Amino acid sequence: MNIILLGPPGAGKGTQSAMLVEERGMRQLSTGDMLRAAVKAETEVGLRAKAVMERGELVSDEIVSALIDAELAAMGPETGAIFDGYPRTEAQARALDEILASHDRQLDFVIELEVDEDALVDRITGRFTCARCGEGYHDRYKLPRQEGTCDKCGSHEFKRRPDDNEETVRTRMAEYRAKTAPILPLYDARGIVRRVDGMAAIDAVKQGVDAILD
């Protein structure tokens, strides 16, 4: 099974991916995570991507498609892939078709998480994660049960993404509207797009996703 989770920043792609990974043994391929790791490690790709990401603009198609290709090459054929935050442009969508074909895979579904953009700024600017295990939290909607301690792994260190500020979020939304939303008709024409209400509670969104995949 190979699926794309599509939706603007803050729609819940990462949250839903994490649950699919845990319950279905699929693999999350998040170009955002890969790029953040490259920035942290100060690789050549990271050095090129850092400023672009801080502005909320898109990194070049070649860079992200190469990252995806390398990850798929390292995966066993039986492991399903969840594309999270990729493709984000028409050129990436075309590249993904070629990459999948070269790895004998095909796309099963594109799941669009439909959300209200105004609510997203509120969601994104409050989010933070455990620095050790990556568990996601939110200042207003999901604080750790015990203040300052991760529910999942007990760590006391948390982090926030530098691009989760209002100004950058607005740019990321504009990029989504201008470059990513237009790839949906491509997949609609193939009859593989499914839509889920991304404004619902996390569990309800998950049920919607499960109903598509089961």
Residues found near ligand AMP in the complex (CB under 6 A): 9, 31-32, 35, 52-53, 56-59, 64, 85-86, 88, 92, 163, 172
In this complex, which beta carbon is closest to ligand AMP, that of residue 27 or of residue 149? Answer: 27
Residue type, 186: L
- From the candidates 36, 50, 172, 206, give the one annotated as an active-site residue: 172
- From the candidates 161, 179, 194, 195, give the one annotated as an active-site residue: 161
Active-site residue flag, 127? yes
CB of 134 to ligand AMP, least distance (A): 12
Strands 127-130 and 81-84: unpaired
Task: Give, as one character, the DSSP assignment of residue 121.
Answer: H
In this complex, which beta carbon is closest to ligand AMP, that of residue 51 or of residue 204? Answer: 51
Active-site residue flag, 161? yes
CB of 163 to ligand AMP, least distance (A): 6
Residue type, 16: Q
- Cis peptide bond upstream of 9, omega within 30: no
Could you tell me which residues come within 8 angstroms of residue 75 by beta carbon, excluding any fewer than 6 positions away?
A: 27, 81
Helix (DSSP H) and strand (DSSP E) numbers for the chain: 9, 8
Three-state DSSP class for 136? strand
Active-site residue flag, 195? no
CB of 145 to ligand AMP, least distance (A): 26
In this complex, which beta carbon is closest to ligand AMP, that of residue 88 or of residue 206? Answer: 88
- From the candidates 50, 123, 127, 206, give the one annotated as an active-site residue: 127
**Count of alpha carbons within 13 Å of 212, Cβ hemisphere only?**
23
Q: 110: buried, middle or exposed (CB in 10 Å: 19+, 13-18, 0-12)?
A: buried
Active-site residue flag, 179? no
In this complex, which beta carbon is closest to ligand AMP, that of residue 149 or of residue 161? Answer: 161
Active-site residue flag, 123? no
Q: 20: buried, middle or exposed (CB in 10 Å: 19+, 13-18, 0-12)?
A: buried
CB of 78 to ligand AMP, least distance (A): 25
CB of 147 to ligand AMP, least distance (A): 27
- From the candidates 36, 88, 123, 206, give the one annotated as an active-site residue: 88
**Catalytic residue list:** 13, 88, 127, 161, 172
